[in-house]
Chain A
Amino acid sequence: MTASKSDIRLSVQQVRKVYGAGSRNEVEAVRSLTFDLHAGEFACLVGPSGSGKTTLLKCIAGLLDPTSGEVVLDGRRVSGPAEGMAVVFQEYSRSLFPWLSVEDNVELPLKTSGVPKAERKARVKDALDAVTLSHAAKSYPWQLSGGMQQRVAIARAVASNPSVLLMDEPFAAVDAQTRGELEDLVREVWKRLDMTILFVTHDIDESVYLAERVLVLSSSPTIVQADIHIDLPDVRSQADTRSLHRFGELRHQVYEEVQFAKTNPGGERMSVRDGLPS
């Protein structure tokens, strides 16, 4: 991918987050994070548990203010939840409104942001089609299985037509089989709608399978420890892609980085690979 300044969607610049700054028990969760996300890119953030993944994601989503540094979305500095950013949370059952039907859940953000009714209906339908849930439009979320609920959350995020879609360990709470299906679904939606996705996970295999680029975070206080380009074929399938020799190599590479991260908080080393700008 050729990177020019103009197609940068999301830019994270030296973001630092200190909890309880100035007090005696201040905790530096994120030391300094810098990376850019280009239009159409699918990147995964991987890191050992407690590496400040959630903190970082909240800073990007505008739910938390970074102590210093800035997050820029489409050229505008993020200060609070920004238009053009959608988030899929891990806790699908707690992130859908249980008093609204599936289609009403998907429609709500469009409704409150003033999208005209006809367009709204069309976008809701498209989004539900994209996650193959049109048949469940009138159901309530709690009438659906976990995997289906997370698909509703994805449809809601997609319907708002975001510049960047953030996903916070979205498949950590579903069973392995559903997980595989959802991974394929996300890649399909990503390609079909030409989206830009930042996907946070602790699962190394998942990150390699999904992304074109894997950012490995050090343990807390966090920095970007490695930025690995995933040169797997564009069309992927659970059975074939995962048995490729190259998949194994990449997986190994990411694994090594994560192992290194576990023992090196605030990692001293910064490796830039495959010519990607840092």
Chain B
Amino acid sequence: MIVLKRLALWFGLPAILIAVWWAFTAQGVNFFVPKPDKLANTFVTVWFSEKFFTDVMPSMGRLLISLAVSLVLGVALGIAIGLSRTLRWLLEPLLEFIRAVPSTILIPVLLLLIGINDAMKITVIVLGCLWPILLNTIEGVRSLDEVLKNTALVYRLRGFDRIRYLVLPGASPLIMAGIRHSLAVGLILLVVSEMFASTDGIGYSIINFQNRIAIPEMWSGIFLLGIIGVLLSVVFQAIQKRVLGWYYGLKEASNDG
């Protein structure tokens, strides 16, 4: 019963919205707004074809590689900067400067510097996804509990052990919050990076359909992005639940107390 109720709550609103959409498009024919069934058909024929391999897979590859690079860079730099006051003083003004520049504006520059290839797109995405992870990691490292740090000192947790058993898990709630933010930013930048000087990818396909006035096909691409967003979020939440199980338990326990 609980499962049924959950499913109803999950899919209830989308179902209602589709019904409303259906009602409004049933008799009137607006060239720019396709009917739901027409869109569903288009979606299947467009994306469940070789386009899945020539456009969807490359896009997802770019996104996942960029997220992985951002994660490794963000966490590694974040820990180094979070642990060292000197590094913070040295880098903070520079980081604020780079962060303030929207990475999309760098696309023309990067096109010249790197060229029309995946490295350029990945650079654009990483330049956007890095910040939430980096800044959250710094904050997470800095907000480690004083008593816990003293405990680690007393039991002589040093170097790599200290990072593995104290710093990383201690900062993980904020790191996860940063990753969550990066997922959203990453999807946006993926599409934008594929809109310029690109030959494949979801973003390229959508722009291409738009230019050819293939309206239902264009909508189906937008629909696909929404679905990818939902899937990413579901996978992320499953991972988060595993990684931060202790954190939710701790929060619940201190709320009870």
Q: Are B153 and A63 in contact (CB under 8 A)?
A: yes
Contact flag A109-B147 (CB < 8 Å), given A99-B246, A143-B249: no
Contact flag A98-B246 (CB < 8 Å), given A61-B154, A85-B154: yes
Which residues in window 133-178 of B have CB below 8 A to A? 145-148, 150-151, 153-158, 161, 165-166, 169-170, 172
Shortest beta-carbon distance from B250 to chain A in Å: 5
B253 within 8 A of A: yes
Give the docked Cα–Cα distance between A219 and B102 (Å). Answer: 58
A85, A98, A99, A112: residue with the most chain B Cβ atoms closer than 10 Å: A99
> Which of chain A's residues have a CB closer than 8 A to the CB of B170?
99
Q: Are A108 and B154 in contact (CB under 8 A)?
A: no
A247 within 8 A of B: no
Q: How many residues does chain B have at the interface if contact means C-beta atoms less than 8 Å apart?
A: 24
Q: Are A95 and B169 in contact (CB under 8 A)?
A: no
Shortest beta-carbon distance from A163 to chain B in Å: 14
Give the docked Cα–Cα distance between A70 and B247 (Å). Answer: 41
Q: Are B156 and A112 in contact (CB under 8 A)?
A: yes
Give the docked Cα–Cα distance between A160 and B157 (Å). Answer: 13
A83, A87, A94, A142: residue with the most chain B Cβ atoms closer than 10 Å: A142
> Which of chain A's residues have a CB closer than 8 A to the CB of B27?
none
Q: Are B165 and A89 in contact (CB under 8 A)?
A: no
> Which of chain B's residues have a CB closer than 8 A to the CB of A142?
246, 249-250, 253-254
A86 within 8 A of B: yes
Contact flag A81-B169 (CB < 8 Å), given A98-B246, A98-B247, A140-B246: no
A97 within 8 A of B: yes
Shortest beta-carbon distance from A62 to chain B in Å: 8
Q: Are B253 and A109 in contact (CB under 8 A)?
A: no
Contact flag A81-B246 (CB < 8 Å), given A89-B147, A91-B147, A108-B165: no
Q: Are A63 and B150 in contact (CB under 8 A)?
A: yes
Interface of chain B, main secondary structure: helix
Shortest beta-carbon distance from A87 to chain B in Å: 5
Give the docked Cα–Cα distance between A86 and B156 (Å). Answer: 10
Q: Are A160 and B169 in contact (CB under 8 A)?
A: no
> Which of chain A's residues have a CB closer than 8 A to the CB of B151?
87, 89, 95-97
> Which of chain B's residues have a CB closer than 8 A to the CB of A160?
155
> Which of chain B's residues have a CB closer than 8 A to the CB of A100?
165
A25 within 8 A of B: no
Q: Are B150 and A97 in contact (CB under 8 A)?
A: no
In the complex, which range does the number of interface residues on chain A fall in? 20 to 34
Give the docked Cα–Cα distance between A113 and B156 (Å). Answer: 8
Shortest beta-carbon distance from A157 to chain B in Å: 9
> Which of chain A's residues have a CB closer than 8 A to the CB of B148?
94-95, 97
Give the docked Cα–Cα distance between A109 and B165 (Å). Answer: 10
> Which of chain A's residues have a CB closer than 8 A to the CB of B150?
63, 87, 89, 95
Shortest beta-carbon distance from A90 to chain B in Å: 9
> Which of chain A's residues have a CB closer than 8 A to the CB of B254?
142
Shortest beta-carbon distance from A23 to chain B in Å: 19
Give the docked Cα–Cα distance between A63 and B154 (Å). Answer: 7
Q: Which residue of A lies closest to B164 (CB)?
A: A112
> Which of chain B's residues have a CB closer than 8 A to the CB of A96?
151
Which residues in window 168-204 of B have CB below 8 A to A? 169-170, 172
Shortest beta-carbon distance from B210 to chain A in Å: 48
Q: Which residue of A lies closest to B172 (CB)?
A: A99
Shortest beta-carbon distance from A179 to chain B in Å: 18
Q: Are B250 and A81 in contact (CB under 8 A)?
A: no
Q: Are A98 and B156 in contact (CB under 8 A)?
A: no
Q: Are A98 and B250 in contact (CB under 8 A)?
A: yes
Shortest beta-carbon distance from B112 to chain A in Å: 46
> Which of chain A's residues have a CB closer than 8 A to the CB of B155?
81, 86, 108-109, 112, 156, 160
Please give the residue numbers on chain A whose beta carbons come within 8 Å of chain B beta carbons, in ascending order.
61-63, 81, 83, 85-87, 89, 91, 94-100, 108-109, 112-113, 140, 142-143, 156, 160
Q: With contacts A112-B155, A112-B157 known, what are 14 further pairs, Cβ within 8 A?
A: A62-B154, A63-B150, A83-B156, A87-B150, A94-B145, A94-B147, A94-B148, A95-B151, A96-B151, A97-B169, A112-B161, A140-B246, A140-B250, A142-B250
14 pairs of residues in contact across A and B, judged by CB atoms under 8 Å: A63-B154, A81-B153, A85-B154, A86-B154, A89-B150, A91-B147, A94-B148, A95-B151, A97-B165, A99-B169, A99-B172, A112-B156, A142-B246, A143-B249
